[in-house]
Structure 1
């Protein structure tokens, strides 16, 4: 297992280098000019634009800009926000725990719900309950997160008045207040990953339950719990683990919209504001955080494969 971890970590180094270069290239090449925006927009003089461009280092060669940016990133220095004038690292440090708390709350909702519905539907394949679950998951996949959020706000905040429609309370200040306000955003963000995981787990379980080793487990007198949870679920969970890892990217992407709907001051809303103001250092930093998070989740998925399937450890 240690050798598997070491190999995966070695692979991450060139991967992150390539990703950082591509990310920096795409952000620099997007339409718009930060220097023009900071100088006052279309009415700014050429002299002011060139002065600001020189102050930001945008007049230097592309590779020099990338090298300077990468050196700063390696020292956790993402530059200064062009919009607020504060260090981007400080903004991320303040906002990242908020987004992570939303993602964690979403996963707390997603995993038990997906496991329960996936197993329940997989063991009742072809029955009315199974068809109802498939119909519900199809509907959840078709509905975008912001639409689910609006429906939840209309029902639970406007009609029933059980939960607040927006706002955020830090967990460290008031755990009960945090839970009260995070329920609706977490449910809205969990709808899609729950539906995808339920269908994946249900399909894997239906296929696994007809395999020879499951029939052997039944023939040996195994209880339903031993056969389903101890044998079938372990085999059926392999594809679901990959899907679960991919859903992290979905959660991070969905958090951008959900944070806007519920006015949560996380990195998603920070990214949208940076895009609107053409704040290049902030855009680069948030995009890099998203990419690194996805890469690390992929590493965790690989290591989980090594736990579920010993053959992977030697591959």
Structure 2
């Protein structure tokens, strides 16, 4: 991934040395000094090798745009992005899972079609377009939420991040709704449900059995949502003018700030990989059949 991103940035039009000089007078000597300082006069593979040898030792270099250490640039913005992602994930589960259970239990009825229709609309809407609609409706027109800013304190933070998180959660909630609905429909037709009902178990007890088995594919699908959230958060942060990793990545790509783009890309890839691992471990903890198979082997 690092080689792919490095190659794309290398092929991107523009000159980092000229970007650094801005509107100041440009001469060949100044350009040569800047290119030598940032190894821009070296061949492509040599530039990549220089970056890689530093990265494997934990040194992701200096930002070309700001002159600050890349690690510090990311650390200063990471908390805000993680807060938005975590808040959005909680909201999407709170919205998508109950709606999916309701649609699954009412399969084929008007309630099912209505809930699925709403979910498809939100899942299909681009995050940036939905964010603009949210800003216009709830921030500008109704003035229920602030237009921009991050707030202070826990309550202020939640208040300012509620609209960006809800923007992400609506799209993600539609995806979780569809997964939950399909899982519930599959479990409702299983023999153990018929047996439980024939034994006279209460509806709430039968529902508990259904949800316990239906949650496994839902939890597995949550690993995919991390990639969606990180990708969509970058756009949503731009819409709501939030100083998170999204705005940092946007400026770095436009400026051809290779160290920043490389570090952010690897950070997101690592987050997705760790999430996938945690999902697999959760699946193992929740499904006794897998533990039994592992013990037997």
Decide: shared fold, TM above 0.5: yes
1:298 to 255, 276, 281: 276
Mean Cα deviation higher: 66-75 or 110-119: 66-75
The 5 A counterparts of 1:1-315 are: 19-40=1-22, 44-169=26-151, 173-229=152-208, 231-312=209-290, 314=294
Q: Is residue 148–residue 241 contact of structure 2 (8 Å, CA) maintained in 1?
A: yes
How big is the shift at 1:40?
4.8
RMSD: 2.3
Deviation at residue 310 of structure 1 after TM alignment: 4.0
* TM-score, with length taken from structure 2: 0.90
Question: Deviations along 1:137-181, whole A, 9 cap, x unmatched?
Answer: 111122111121122222211222111111112xxx411111111
Range with greater deviation from structure 2 (96-105 or 158-167): 158-167
Counterpart CA distance in 1 for 2:32 and 2:217 is 53
Contact 2:103 2:111 in 1 (8 A): yes
Deviation of residue 117 (structure 1)? Answer: 0.8
> Secondary structure at 2:256's aligned position in 1?
coil
- 2:2·2:262 contact (CA, 8 Å) conserved in 1? no
**Structure 1 contact 39–52 (Cα < 8 Å) conserved:** no
Alpha-carbon shift at residue 51 of structure 1 (Å):
2.4
User: How many residue pairs were aligned?
Assistant: 293
Task: State how far apart, in whole Å, the 2-side matches of 1:61 and 1:46 are.
Answer: 19
- The question of whether the paired residues in 1 share the 8 Å contact of 2:134 and 2:163 is answered with yes
Q: How far apart are residue 195 of structure 1 and its match?
A: 0.2
Give the unaligned 5+ runs of structure 2. Answer: none
Stretches of structure 1 that go unaligned for 5 or more consecutive residues are: 1-18
1:80/1:88 contact within 8 Å kept: yes
